[in-house]
Amino acid sequence: MLYFALRRFASALLVMFAISVLVFLIFFATPGVDPAARIAGRNADPATLAQVRHSFGLDRPMPIRYLLMMRHLLVDRDLESFVNRGSRVIPQIVQATPVTLSLVIGAALIWMTAGILMGTAAATFRGKAADPLIMLVGVVGVSLPAYWLGEVVNLVTQKQLHDSVFSWVPPPGYVGLSHPGQWALHLLFPWLTLALLYAGIYARLLRGEVVTALNEDYVRTARAKGLSERRILVRHALRCSLIPIVSLFGLDFGALVGGAALLTEVVFGLPGIGKLTFDALQNLDLPVIMGTVLYAAFFVVLANALVDILYARLDPRARHA
């Protein structure tokens, strides 16, 4: 098991290296892309462009530029923004990370709880009226785009009904964990908005897994032994059905922490990784974009590695795949 884990993490490092090279080539070696022109500003004369290229090492061979970029980004941590001079990339990412983690962890707790309850209830009442009703709620949640739902929530809580029903709702923004009450209050509706999308997906997936498990031979054997339906559902069917759910959760969590919650952060004014990436794209700030892309790739690759190790732990056959 230890050998498998080491091998999986070694392959994850190779994937990260490949991603860093690819991102660098896209942002700094694509024909027509001239970072020096972006730094120097519009209408810069050739002498100024040459000086900027020399100052930032943009006139050196491509492999040297890549190594310098990675050193400044990952080792020295002094890589600066091309737009906001003096603003370093790593501190910006470090400052934005707690916001994204707060959003994703809170939403994940809600959608996992709701998804498991909805999926289990739908499987329990399969063939009855409650089953399609629960699945309909899940489909509605999946069908509502996060940016649209967020705008509707802001419209209702901040304007239409703010003075009467939602006067307790603070304006969009983020408050740190040093004020736990305000922290949770500012994140309540972002949590619900993000969780609504994923709860429906997890409920539908879990329902199918539980229904399949209830028809397996080991469940029939449990029934023949006289075990109650509740114990069969919780101890046998649900327990085995959670394996693909845990796998999907790892991938979704990694992607969201990496910045996939961009739309929710932008709509609710949360200065997280997604918002930082969005602002960098608006300004074409290449160092910040590169830093956030590598940050996102790190969490996605790490989540994939942990999911594979978990599978190998649960199923020894996967260790030889």
Which backbone phi and psi does 88 adopt, to 5 degrees?
A: -85, 150
Q: Is the pLDDT of residue 316 over 70?
A: no
How many CA atoms does the CB half-sphere of 24 hold within 13 Å?
18
Distance CA 153, CA 145 (A): 12
Residue 230's pLDDT is 77
Q: Which residue has the higher pLDDT, 33 or 270?
A: 270
Per-residue pLDDT tens over the stretch 251-266: 888 888 887 788 899 8
Q: Which residues contact 194 (CB under 8 A, 6 or more apart)?
A: 103, 104, 107, 111, 146, 256, 261, 264
Q: Is the pTM of this model over 0.85?
A: no
53-77 pLDDT, tens per residue? 776 666 777 888 888 878 878 887 7
Q: What is the DSSP string of 237-301?
A: IIHHHHHHHHHHHHHHHHHIIIIITHHHHHHTT--SHHHHHHHHHHHT-HHHHHHHHHHHHHHHH
Residue 311 reports pLDDT greater than 70: no
Q: Hey, which residues does 88 pair with through a beta bridge? A: 80
What tens digit of pLDDT does each residue of 74-112 get? 887 777 777 777 788 888 888 999 999 999 999 999 999
pLDDT per residue over 111-122, tens digit each?
Answer: 999 999 998 888
Place of tokens 């660098």: 24
The terminus-to-terminus CA distance of the chain in angstroms comes to 13
Q: Look-up: residue for tokens 């962890």?
A: 105
Which of 208-212, 224-228, 270-274, 293-297 has the weakest average pLDDT? 224-228
Burial class (CB in 10 A: 0-12, 13-18, 19+), 299: buried
- Among the ranges given (151-165, 230-244, 253-267), the one the predictor scored with the smallest mean pLDDT: 230-244
Mean pLDDT of the chain: 82
pLDDT greater at residue 160 or residue 9? 160
Q: Which residue do the tokens 């993000």 mark? A: 194
